[in-house]
């Protein structure tokens, strides 16, 4: 709902400072108790700010677009296939890649909480965790797509995957037209985060970086 959004984006100064104080108090207590090491806290934050993010998923998609054998392996066993790219130390189990086609569009949601493929897309955006998305994705996906400025043909089947367990999903979007012979780097520059969640489409060839 709109209120939730406001809280996330334009916090009142009072809440911000209250939260800073609360978190600092909690961290201090847990560190003094010997449960956590503040330098590990810094390292986790740094990893999510600089190392893990949708650039990893974009490499996976670009490879699948370029290499038919990899595409088949990815659709067959996402975790195993992503491991072979050497982008990550290890990939958790049960990463499932689902492929868009001219007849079928896939969209990922977690209606119960915020399950999301962190290892390949990083931390989820605020909208993915918000009530509007979690409530509407499963019964009004075309309305949700319209909120993102995406309109699909009325004949396209829409498949929504609700991530209700420890399986994780990534959408393999369709390769944009006019990209024949492109390098994987250049293809990866077309792959947006939202295109791998199913709320967006890849950039078109003329928008390439």
Partner 1 sequence: MDGVHDMGGMHGFGKVEPEPNEPVFHSDWEGRTLAITRAMSYTGVWTIDQTRAGIEQLPPDVYLTSSYYKKWELRLERLVVAMGLAGADEIKAGHALRPGKTLKRKLAAIEVPNTLTRGSFARPAAAPARFKPGDRVRTKNIHPQTHTRLPRYARDKVGVIEALRGCHVFPDTVAIGKGEDPQWLYTVLFDGRELWGENAEPTLKVSIEAFEPYLEPA
Of 110, 163, 189, 195, catalytic: 110
Of 79, 113, 183, 189, catalytic: 113
Nearest residue (CB) to partner 1, 117 versus 176: 117
Sign of CA dihedral 173, 134, 167, 189: positive
CB of 183 to partner 1, least distance (A): 26
Number of alpha carbons in the 13 Å side-chain half-sphere of residue 105 = 22
Nearest residue (CB) to partner 1, 65 versus 128: 128
Sign of CA dihedral 190, 193, 198, 200: negative
Nearest residue (CB) to partner 1, 19 versus 80: 19
Of 39, 114, 183, 195, catalytic: 114
110 among known catalytic residues: yes
Nearest residue (CB) to partner 1, 33 versus 206: 33
Residue 17 in tokens: 């400072």
Of 14, 39, 115, 155, catalytic: 115
Taking the CB of residue 28, how many other CB atoms lie within 10 A of it?
11
CB of 139 to partner 1, least distance (A): 5
79 among known catalytic residues: no
Taking the C-alpha atoms of residue 88 and residue 85, their distance in angstroms, rounded to an integer, is 8
Taking the C-alpha atoms of residue 50 and residue 155, their distance in angstroms, rounded to an integer, is 40
CB of 95 to partner 1, least distance (A): 9
115 among known catalytic residues: yes
**Backbone phi and psi for residue 172, each to the nearest 5 degrees, phi listed first:** -95, 100
What letter would DSSP give residue 204?
P
CB of 170 to partner 1, least distance (A): 13
CA torsion 141→145→150→152, rounded to 10°?
Answer: 0
| The residue to which tokens 């809440």 are assigned | 15
Catalytic residues: 110, 113-115
């Amino acid at each position: 709902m709109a209120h939730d959004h406001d809280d996330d984006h334009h916090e009142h100064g009072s809440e911000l400072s209250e939260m800073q104080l609360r978190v600092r108090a909690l961290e201090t207590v847990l560190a003094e108790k010997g449960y956590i090491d503040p330098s590990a806290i810094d390292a986790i934050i740094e990893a999510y700010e600089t190392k893990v993010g949708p650039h990893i998923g974009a490499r996976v998609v670009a490879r699948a677009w370029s290499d038919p054998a990899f595409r088949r392996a990815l659709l067959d066993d996402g975790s195993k296939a992503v491991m072979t790219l050497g982008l990550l130390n290890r990939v958790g189990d049960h990463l499932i890649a689902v492929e868009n086609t001219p007849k079928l569009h896939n969209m990922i949601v977690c209606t119960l909480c915020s399950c999301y493929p962190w290892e390949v897309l990083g931390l989820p955006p605020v909208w993915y965790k918000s009530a509007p998305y979690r409530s509407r994705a499963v019964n009004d996906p075309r309305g949700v797509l319209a909120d993102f400025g995406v309109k699909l043909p009325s004949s396209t089947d829409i498949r929504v995957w609700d991530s209700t367990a420890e399986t994780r999903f990534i959408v393999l979007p369709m390769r944009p037209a006019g990209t024949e012979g492109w390098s994987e780097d250049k293809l990866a520059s077309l792959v947006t985060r939202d295109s791998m969640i199913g709320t967006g489409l890849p950039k078109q060839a003329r928008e390439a970086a």
